[in-house]
């Protein structure tokens, strides 16, 4: 009786203990600005803590503010 219960617990821990690895492409905007034709946001990744600068069109840049949470949809983890 103990072996089937143990096997069930091990199976359940494997199935529910692992989550699908998803790219971590979100973070906090730390700064913004304009450099030539680039409306940029510098974002600190919430998983790695790395900062990276991205160029966006004016409408996206205008609505995003330092301190806000932001996801870069066309970028993998940085």
CA of 47: how far to CAs of 59, 69, 77, in Å? 27, 13, 8
Q: What are 17-39's pLDDT values in tens digits?
A: 444 466 799 999 999 999 999 99
pTM metric for this prediction: 0.70
What pLDDT, in 10s, does the model give residues 41-69?
A: 999 999 999 999 999 999 999 999 999 99
Map out the domains of the chain with their CATH numbers.
Answer: 22-78 (2.40.50)
Q: How far apart are CA 47 and CA 69, in angstroms?
A: 13
């Amino acid at each position: 009786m103990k072996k089937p219960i143990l096997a069930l617990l091990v199976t359940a821990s494997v199935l529910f203990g692992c989550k699908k690895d998803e790219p971590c492409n979100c973070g906090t905007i730390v700064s913004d600005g304009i450099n030539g034709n680039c409306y940029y946001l510098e974002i600190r990744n919430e998983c790695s803590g790395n900062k990276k600068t991205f160029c966006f069109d004016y409408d996206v840049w205008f609505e995003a503010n330092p301190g806000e949470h932001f996801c870069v949809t066309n970028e993998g983890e940085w």
